[in-house]
Amino acid sequence: MNNNKLKSKMFTFFNLLRGYVSREERITALAIIKGIRTKIIEYNITPDANRLFSLMGEVSYELGVESPFEDMRTLDNVYHSLNNIDELSWKEIVSSYNPVDKIMIPEPIVEEMLTKFTSDKRNVLVAEAEKFSYSLLEIIGHNKKANFTFMTDDETYYKLLKVAFKDELNIRIENNNIYKYGFTNDKYDFIFSVPTFGVRERAREESQFISREFDMIALENLSLHLDAGGFLTIVLPARITFATGNVEELRNFIQSMYSLVEIAELPAGIFKNTGIRTCLVTVSTGRTDEVIIKKLELENESLEGIQDTFVLDSELTEMGDWNIDRIFQSQDEEWVKFVESGVRKEELGSLATIFRGKAVGKKDPTGNIGVINISNIGEYEVDYSELDYIEEEERKVSSYLLKSGDLLIPARGTAIRIAIFEEQSYPVIASSNVIVIRANDGRLSTTFLKVFLDSPLGRKILLARQQGTTVMNISYKELNDIEIPLPTIEEQEEIANEYKHELEIYKDTIYKAEKRWNDTLDKLRNKI
């Protein structure tokens, strides 16, 4: 049942309670009536007024709530008014829970969070689940194979959740507080969180956290409970992006220990009961070099991007903050500078042939043709030692055979890596997940092109062509019309040769340093 249908259904029940209980007591009243009805069926008894009142006390105690029904007559009237209570499930009651002291999360924010909740996430934590009550069923339905932990420190909601999901083997209910260090020993692949804004931890001599604000505590504390490759998507006040002091220290900690995946500015006023500017931050324990930066606005009850770009993680470190406005401003200045420069530019499609690799079938370790996959493309070059192989007649793949100097880019994934193909002693093709750029004539050096595309501006140009949100998805056709600088071929070769020379020095330095380090370790171990 979608939220609109649920709201319509609940309105009918709430309307029947009008005049008997207050607005804040509606869910409690429905839960008590539902609990009474469940026991009447279980005990197989007649629901007279005395028994109803007795059962009310039993149900109220089990749920840990105070009954809103002050007398036997009121309870009897409400019970018989709600004669269709069997049509209302415990899950629907839980999904309509609305604590007056908590920020309820607007559905568009949940929808945006769900775009990051991919099918490979198996162990999921919904922190302070009562805030997500309207969307719990939608979250479950988004990935039915996942194991969910719904965590709450709201005693009533905890008990309601236990009743509602008692038969669901993939759902665990925990009564716990995410603002306490060591609140769980578990690790999760994905965590949803919208913490409390603007409240400080009670002063004590030593805090286990960098900041005392609950929202900042949640960011730090929940990040500690991410499994390898896990994602935390969390709504935070916008000051996380620019504030100094403890907040700045926390930013530095997050950047040093985790990967920033995305920072999205949420529209002003999206939370009805607070005017605090907010943003949606996604953090991962996986490797990401680029951070997606977005500004979102509310259109037709959905969040839509009005601006988006990316920034390298190293650039954020240099900036010293995550200020979204400043990032967009610098991006614009950089692009304008490139566009207005006197450097000659041409569309890539006029200089090169761009195509996608071949979809391959069954792998054969003894095959005659090597296949370059995304995993083989390193930051600087191709790793030929781990290629897959297929057995195929060379003539059947002749149009896909790679040539020395071909530039290779992953068509999908989480990071942009670019490498130059070097001819091997055997035929090699690229898989369908790899884009190949081949210079048409003597006007373009693909090594020069790699140097440009590896630059901050080049990366931004590539990301502007990507079609995914969390997983990069570049269409090779989109690359045809990107503009690149085109100095003379002599100038390009000069840049390319210097790049190759310095790369060899770099690799040799790394090799010697690693060898020295390993030799030293061996020597020290032999002394033990």
pLDDT in the model for residue 448: 95
**Cα gap 135→96, rounded to integer Å:** 9
| Cβ 202 vs Cβ 244: under 8 Å | no
Instruction: Indicate if the alpha-carbon torsion angle 176, 182, 184, 188 is positive or negative.
Output: positive
Per-residue pLDDT of the chain (528 residues; tens, 9 = 90+): 466 788 888 888 989 899 898 888 889 999 999 999 999 999 898 889 899 999 999 999 988 888 999 889 999 999 999 989 999 999 999 888 877 667 778 899 999 999 999 988 999 999 999 999 989 999 999 998 999 999 999 988 999 999 999 999 999 999 999 999 999 999 999 999 999 987 887 666 567 899 989 999 999 999 999 999 999 999 999 999 988 899 999 999 999 999 999 999 999 888 877 778 899 999 999 888 789 999 999 888 889 988 888 888 888 888 888 988 878 867 777 777 787 788 888 999 999 999 999 998 889 999 999 999 999 998 889 999 999 999 999 999 999 999 999 999 998 876 788 999 999 999 999 999 999 999 998 899 999 999 999 888 888 777 666 544 345 577 778 788 888 999 999 999 999 999 999 999 999 999 999 999 999 999 999 988
pLDDT in the model for residue 1: 46
**Cα gap 35→162, rounded to integer Å:** 13
Q: Which residues contact 67 (CB under 8 A, 6 or more apart)?
A: 28, 32, 56, 57, 60, 75
pLDDT in the model for residue 470: 42
**Cα gap 382→376, rounded to integer Å:** 6
First to last CA, the chain: 67
| Cβ 270 vs Cβ 104: under 8 Å | no
DSSP string, 310-354: EEEHHHHHHHTS--HHHHHHHHHHHHHHHHHSSS-EEEGGGTEEE
Residue 439 falls in which region: left (phi positive, over 0), alpha (psi -120 to 50) or beta: beta
pLDDT digits (tens, 9 = 90+) for 160-209: 999 999 999 999 999 999 999 999 999 999 999 999 987 887 666 567 89
For tokens 């979608």, what's the residue?
Answer: 2
Q: How many CA atoms lie within 13 A of 390 on its CB side?
A: 18
Phi and psi at residue 302, to the nearest 5°: -135, 155
| Cβ 514 vs Cβ 506: under 8 Å | no
What pTM was computed for the model?
Answer: 0.66
DSSP string, 24-55: GGHHHHHHHHHHHHHHHHHHT----HHHHHHH
pLDDT in the model for residue 368: 94
pLDDT in the model for residue 462: 79
**Cα gap 154→184, rounded to integer Å:** 17
CA dist list (Å): 381 to 22, 70, 404, 503: 68, 76, 12, 10
**Cα gap 419→99, rounded to integer Å:** 54
> Both tokens of residue 55?
């059962």
Domains present along the chain, CATH in parentheses = 3-88 (no CATH), 107-338 (3.40.50.150), 346-489 (3.90.220.20)
pLDDT digits (tens, 9 = 90+) for 310-360: 888 888 888 888 988 878 867 777 777 787 788 888 999 999 999 999 998
**Cα gap 246→255, rounded to integer Å:** 14
273-283: b (≥16 Cβ within 10 Å) or e = eeeeebbbbbb
**Cα gap 391→369, rounded to integer Å:** 6
The closest of 495, 502, 474, 500 to 416, measured between CA atoms, is 474
**Cα gap 462→478, rounded to integer Å:** 9
